[in-house]
């Protein structure tokens, strides 16, 4: 049986031109992506500080609560929240999940009003954590599904890169605005300056990001109608295959899923150590900055974290275009090595210039592999099960986020005590050494992971795209 002739690979300019003329559905998916990037990471960057200084938790309790939230996002993806996009389509899945996210953010922001340090405040915060965890667990795969449903095969690669960049643009804008919102709220309602109390005004930022969420949801519901979906959503060429697979019941779907692909499992689990560095950006970095740097730096901790997304906005499209022909495994090796090695820049005494260099270099490593990872997982997804496959691929991410939270707070207290002193450089050296395990594993398994490219599949064997 002859293989179909392959279409010539389009140039980057052609792909960008096609994205510029993309459908309304594609742009509305990215509207939710942009707005939730502002709000989700606006909350996340201040969450450990909020739990400590507004809700009344200890440092360890705050990192555990934050890690539980981020872990639940991934866990619910794995357990099936991602299947909403497979059953409802990206449009309806985003509408339902964003409504739940909005309720959760309102509950979380109100929780300290019960009384800091009280059981009522703790209960309110944990209820919000559970609700937001489930809802965000549905939002993320719905966004990925939206890219696949509203782009074609020639624009999908840049479509995923664009999704990642737009989200990071939202993160950057939210982080830039947040200190101004905190300052105004702290001075008007708390009677303090954020320069004197760097952790003041967080509740004000949370209300701002909650309002952003409400606007995003309203525009989505009003603008992304069923008519738009019917007009713009591209048919899945493998839909008939998906129907046939469904006739076999759960056993057939289980056999077709990536969970039985040894190379796929090794690939996603090898990334677990380096993913702990991403968790440290919101579990460790806020306290590191507010405890180790002058008050005027700590008062604008969001700006330090905002460097990551703005570098991503610029670097991801450029590096994706430059490395489109680089095999995903080689891209992972290069990217994870850069991110892990960057951490050793913090091994010395706290230095603002070195911190900025670290964030930039770490982010360049992230830009080399993150969007390619999403594209690779989407291509491996069986027909009709994109959301579930995205959830499965997030299982190691769930482990990284949850496990990291249980030791991050204790390491902060041991190496960066609130009263001063300690050895923050040693803490970052340990974190960097752990992250280096990822590129080493990928190097050791490189030939095995690429073996299927040189060995044709036997007749009748099930194959996956990508």
Q: Using an 8 Å Cβ cutoff, are 308 and 187 in contact? A: no
Q: Using an 8 Å Cβ cutoff, are 101 and 37 in contact? A: no
- Asked if residue 3 belongs to a domain, the reply is no
- Asked if residue 461 belongs to a domain, the reply is no
- pLDDT tier for residue 246 given thresholds of 50, 70 and 90: very low
CB atoms within 10 A of CB 338: 19
- Asked if residue 202 belongs to a domain, the reply is yes
Average pLDDT over all residues of the chain: 82
Please report where in the chains the tokens 């200890």 appear, as a residue.
58
The 10s digit of each residue's pLDDT in 414-456 is: 999 987 788 999 999 999 999 999 999 999 988 887 665 433 3
**How much is the pLDDT for 228?**
85
Does position 10 have pLDDT exceeding 60, yes or no? no
Does position 258 have pLDDT exceeding 70, yes or no? no
Does position 379 have pLDDT exceeding 70, yes or no? no
The 10s digit of each residue's pLDDT in 89-101 is: 888 999 999 999 9
**What integer is the mean pLDDT of 311-339?**
82
Domain assignment of residue 290, given as a range: 22-233+248-453
- Asked if residue 41 belongs to a domain, the reply is yes
250 Cβ contact partners less than 8 Å away, ≥ 6 residues apart: none
Out of 35-39, 233-237, 361-365, 384-388, least confident range: 384-388
Q: Which of 175, 151, 189, 223 is closest to 386 using CA atoms?
A: 151
- Asked if residue 222 belongs to a domain, the reply is yes
Q: Per the structure block, which two tokens stand in for 228?
A: 């738009």
Q: Per the structure block, which two tokens stand in for 168?
A: 């990071």
- Asked if residue 324 belongs to a domain, the reply is yes
Overall number of domains in the chain: 1
Q: Using an 8 Å Cβ cutoff, are 220 and 28 in contact? A: yes
Does position 299 have pLDDT exceeding 60, yes or no? yes
* CATH number of the domain encompassing residue 377: 1.20.1250.20
**How much is the pLDDT for 241?**
41
379 Cβ contact partners less than 8 Å away, ≥ 6 residues apart: 464, 465, 466
DSSP state of 457: P
- Asked if residue 383 belongs to a domain, the reply is yes
Task: Go through the chain and tell me how many residues it has.
Answer: 466
Out of 53-57, 197-201, 346-350, 386-390, least confident range: 386-390
163 Cβ contact partners less than 8 Å away, ≥ 6 residues apart: 29, 30, 33, 143, 144, 147, 371, 374
- pLDDT tier for residue 14 given thresholds of 50, 70 and 90: low
Q: What is the DSSP string of 143-160?
A: HHHHHHHTS-TTTHHHHH
- Asked if residue 15 belongs to a domain, the reply is no
Residues 85, 235, 327, 312: is their CA dihedral positive or negative? negative
**How much is the pLDDT for 276?**
93
């Amino acid at each position: 049986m002859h293989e179909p002739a392959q279409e010539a690979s389009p140039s980057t300019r052609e792909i960008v031109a096609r994205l510029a003329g993309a459908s309304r559905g594609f742009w509305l998916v990215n509207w939710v992506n942009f707005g939730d990037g502002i709000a989700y990471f606006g909350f996340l960057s201040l969450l450990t500080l909020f739990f400590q200084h507004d809700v009344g938790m200890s440092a360890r309790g705050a990192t555990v609560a934050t890690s539980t939230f981020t872990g639940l996002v991934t866990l619910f993806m794995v357990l099936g929240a991602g299947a909403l996009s497979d059953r409802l389509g990206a449009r309806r899945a985003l509408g339902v999940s964003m409504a739940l996210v909005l309720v959760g953010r309102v509950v979380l922001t109100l929780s300290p009003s019960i009384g800091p340090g009280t059981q009522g405040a703790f209960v309110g915060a944990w209820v919000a954590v559970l609700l937001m965890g489930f809802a965000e667990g549905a939002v993320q795969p719905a966004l990925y599904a939206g890219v696949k449903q509203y782009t074609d095969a020639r624009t999908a690669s840049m479509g995923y890169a664009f999704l990642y960049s737009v989200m990071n643009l939202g993160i950057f804008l939210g982080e830039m605005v947040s200190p101004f919102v905190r300052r105004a709220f702290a001075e008007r309602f708390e009677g303090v300056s954020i320069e004197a109390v760097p952790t003041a005004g967080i509740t004000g930022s949370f209300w701002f990001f909650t309002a952003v969420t409400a606007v995003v949801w309203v525009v989505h519901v009003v603008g992304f109608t069923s008519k738009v979906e019917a007009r713009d959503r591209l048919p899945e060429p493998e839909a008939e295959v998906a129907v046939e697979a469904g006739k076999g019941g759960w056993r057939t779907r289980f056999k077709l899923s990536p969970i039985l692909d040894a190379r796929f499992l090794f690939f996603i689990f090898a990334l677990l150590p380096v993913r702990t560095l991403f968790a440290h950006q919101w579990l460790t970095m806020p306290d590191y900055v507010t405890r180790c740097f002058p008050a005027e730096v700590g008062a604008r901790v969001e700006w330090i974290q905002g460097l990551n997304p703005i570098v991503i906005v610029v670097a991801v499209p450029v590096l994706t275009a430059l490395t489109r022909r680089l095999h995903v495994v080689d891209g992972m090796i290069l990217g994870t090595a850069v991110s892990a090695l960057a951490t050793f820049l913090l091994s010395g005494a706290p230095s603002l210039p070195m911190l900025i260099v670290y964030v930039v270099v770490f982010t360049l490593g992230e830009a080399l592999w993150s969007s390619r990872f999403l594209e690779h997982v989407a291509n491996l997804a069986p027909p009709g099960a994109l959301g579930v496959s995205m959830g499965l691929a997030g299982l190691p991410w769930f482990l990284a986020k949850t496990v990291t939270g249980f030791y991050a707070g204790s390491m902060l207290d041991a190496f960066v005590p609130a009263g001063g002193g300690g050895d923050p450089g040693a803490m970052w050296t340990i974190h960097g050494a752990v992250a280096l395990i990822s590129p080493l594993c990928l190097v050791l398994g490189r030939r095995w992971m690429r073996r299927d490219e040189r060995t044709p599949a036997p007749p009748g064997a099930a194959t996956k795209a990508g």
